[in-house]
Structures are given as C-alpha cells and as structure tokens.
Amino acid sequence: MRQRIGRRDLLSRTLAWAGAAATGTFWAAARHTARAEGPIKIGLIIPLTGVFAPNGRDMANGLALALAQAGNKAAGRAIQVLTEDDQGVPAQTLTKARKLVELDRVDLLAGPLTANSGYALRDYVDEQKIPAVYPVVSSDDLTQRKGSPSLIRTGWTSSQVNHPFGEYAAKTLRYTRMATIAYDFAFGWETVEGFQDTFELNGGRVVAHLWPPIGAPDYSPYLGRIPQDVDAVYATFSGGDALRFLQQWQAFGLEGRIPLIGNGTLTDEHILFQEGDLARGIVTALHYSAALNTPANHDFVRAYVKAYDRVPSYYSENSYTAGLFILNGLEAVGGRVENRAAFIAAVQAVVLPQAPRGPVRLDRWVNPVENVYIRRVELTNGVPQNTVMYTYPNVSQFWTWSPAEYLKRPVYTRDLPPAHP
C-alpha cells in the first residue's frame, strides 16, 4: 500500500526536488537571507470579465492556493500578487502588462489565458527581459520557433495533447472520416491541426474544418455543414462557448447520431458541472483531470475544494503547478528575483515528480514534458467527471518526431494541414 502524502509534505518534497535540480546542492541557495527591500511582486494577467471569466477565476485560485501553502513567502521573502483583467483580449493583455511592469514594477509576470494574447505579449516580454511564466497559454510556436529567453511555459502546447489523441482516435476508436469544429484563432487551429496531423498519419481523413468565432451566439450555420457520412466530430471550445455548443449540438439533433470528441477544454471542470448530462460519454484529451487517481492529485483536489468550494479545473491545476515552479525558482536563488537570469535558469531546472497532473519537467525549449490523459465523461451519482481511460506518459511538444525534424516543418495554421473533402 502506498503511503499517503499530506499537502505540506507534497509541497516540501517538490520544492526539495526542484531546489536540488536547480542548484546541485540541496537548498544551498535557499539558506541565504533574502533582501529586505520589499515583497516579491507577481503581475497576474487573467480574464476576470467576458466569456473567459470562469477560466481566469480558476487560474487566480490555483496560483493563490500554491502561494498560500507556502505561507505567501519564498526564502523568507513575502510574495505579493497584483492582478489585472485583460478580458481575454490581446490588446488589453499588452496594456495591462505595460502597467504592471513599468508602473507597478513587478518582478515577474504570470498569465495570460488565450493563445493569441500569449503571442501578443511575447515581443514585449522579450524586449523588457522580464521573466514571464505562462501557466495556460498554449500557443505552439512560443516554445518552438518564437521562443524567448524570458518566457517560461509550465502548461502545454495546443497540439501537444492532440498528437497522441489523433493516434488514439484512429487506432483505438477506429474512426476513419472526421469533421472538426473549433475556435477561429490560434488555439483552435493548433488543437485541430495537431489532432489531424497524427490522425491522418494513422490512416484517418479529416473532410471538413468549421471555424466559429469566440462567443458565437448561434452554432447552427456550422452544425448544418457537418457532413452526414463522418464517423465522428472533433471540437475545441471552452467556458460558456463550450456549454452553448453542447446545448445546440443536442438541440440540432446530433447527439446520439454522430459521436463527439474533443480537446480537453470542451469538458474541463471549469464548465463540466454546468454541462452535466450534455457531456456524458464525450472523449477528450488533456494533461489533467480532477478525477486523476494519484495521492498528489487527491491532496490537491481536497485542498482546492476546501479553499474554494469547487472542484479544480485544468486552469486551476496549471496555475497551481506554475506556482510550484515559481516557488522552487525563488527558493533556489534565495529570493533574489532581481537577478532575472539566475531566477529564469532556476525555474527552467525545476523537476516536479509529483505534481497534481503527474510528473512534469521542462525541455530545453522550456516547455513541459508530461503525461497526456484520454478521458471520458462519466456520471457518478449524477455528478460528471473526466474518467481517465488511457495515459500517454512523458509526452513532449514534438511527439515522436525529433526536435530538429519537427522544427523544419511549418507551424500549424487555419488550413495547414487542409481538410480533404
């Protein structure tokens, strides 16, 4: 029988692992006395209003929990979080970042949420040389061809979880003809095209792409264009859009006629309990599920529910784990976040063998290598959960391609690879 690990023990163990990895000497740097000039300031940029507000709320909660478990301190130095609402709009993201960096003088940035906001912020982060931790932003190229020495991704890339899912759909679900429907911006494109790439490498064929905008009130013009001879439909939505899409999927008479699968945000816990029976049976892929059966995740879920009276979503876990990366980095440099290069190097060296999502480390392009879970929504006593059906361990952003081979290929775009009617 495995020994259960308490929340405080988990945090101390993960910090110890990462500190040893970052410094080569267990907590040597952490023993130095931190500077007393003031708190370490983290500038958090998230959507608190608009269609993505539920996602932003979970991001704020996850980071706050990680910091609270550490006493809101690292290496004896207080940590302060300054939060700005960007509404999930790229122009607002950049405006809020400038305020936090140039007026509030934060020591590092965390966030934002959307892929296009992540791309919009990249050049500013690079120019300012301000450490920026991306817990959720999944834009593929930010840790590939458009990387920055100041940018640290602790979450995932949009295509990363969908590469194994495309293989799974072809080999295990045995689909051969599919249509896709997803957001018409970088996140939607990269999830779809990453899925399609490996689906077609394994004998499948995507015959139609449908691209509704963010916040579309009516999906019927798109649902009416789904070919009737497909084996299944793959979808990427989140938040209120995911709920509205599933409601209209059912109202359009497609539920029960065509299997629906999708990117993990479609049934993520931030919206799953509102979707309820609408989501039953939907298979998705993601690098986290609140139903993941590990001691570390049980501890995290219990702590999160106790703090916020709700089940954590992937947005919660990703921001919590980002907090662990930040705390580890701060401890490794003795709280001296002003030495930006040293702090960034320390965070890059962090290894978390028991994060709630499972083991996670960063590759040399500063993107996580982590498990990908194939999940199916099941109802237990009327309560929905993303039950893990299969695990792909240690998945990198390059899947089974070599990095050199992968980086010679063009980035996934709206119609690359194209649909094949």
Count of domains forming the chain? 2
Does position 347 have pLDDT exceeding 60, yes or no? yes
Any domain includes 68: yes
Tokens of 419: 């649909």
Instruction: Please report, for the domain that includes residue 26, its CATH number.
Output: 3.40.50.2300
Q: Is residue 207 located within the same domain as residue 84?
A: no
pLDDT tens digits along 355-394: 999 999 999 999 999 999 999 999 988 999 999 999 999 9
Comparing 32-46, 133-147, 268-282, which segment has the lowest mean pLDDT? Answer: 32-46
Q: Is residue 220 located within the same domain as residue 286?
A: yes
Can you tell me the mean pLDDT for 119-138?
97
Does position 405 have pLDDT exceeding 80, yes or no? yes
What is the distance of C-alpha 168 from the center of its chain?
A: 20
**Cα 37 from Cα 44, distance rounded (Å):** 21
b/e burial code for range 400-421 (CB count within 10 A of at least 16 → b): eeeeeeeeeeebbeeeebebee
Does position 2 have pLDDT exceeding 50, yes or no? no
Confidence label for 37 from pLDDT (cuts 50, 70 and 90): low
- Percent above pLDDT 70 for the chain: 91
Q: Is residue 352 located within the same domain as residue 211?
A: no
Can you tell me the mean pLDDT for 197-208?
98
Does position 4 have pLDDT exceeding 50, yes or no? no
pLDDT tens digits along 164-179: 999 999 999 999 999 9
Per-residue pLDDT at 20: 40
Any domain includes 236: yes
Q: Is residue 376 located within the same domain as residue 365?
A: no
Does position 36 have pLDDT exceeding 80, yes or no? no
Q: Is residue 384 located within the same domain as residue 337?
A: no
Any domain includes 2: no
Any domain includes 322: yes
Confidence label for 51 from pLDDT (cuts 50, 70 and 90): confident
Q: Residue 353 belongs to what domain range? A: 7-156+292-370
Q: Do 234 and 192 contact (CB within 8 A), yes or no? A: yes
Q: Is residue 334 located within the same domain as residue 347?
A: yes
Q: Is residue 188 located within the same domain as residue 120?
A: no
Does position 29 have pLDDT exceeding 70, yes or no? no
Any domain includes 302: yes
Q: Is residue 282 located within the same domain as residue 383?
A: yes
Residue 101 DSSP class: I
Q: Is residue 167 located within the same domain as residue 266?
A: yes
Find the DSSP H helices in 204-359: 220-223, 239-251, 269-275, 295-308, 314-332, 340-348
Q: Is residue 187 located within the same domain as residue 286?
A: yes
Q: Is residue 389 located within the same domain as residue 282?
A: yes
Q: Is residue 273 located within the same domain as residue 382?
A: yes
Number of neighbours of residue 36 by Cβ within 10 angstroms: 9
**Cα 153 from Cα 287, distance rounded (Å):** 14
Does position 16 have pLDDT exceeding 70, yes or no? no
Any domain includes 26: yes
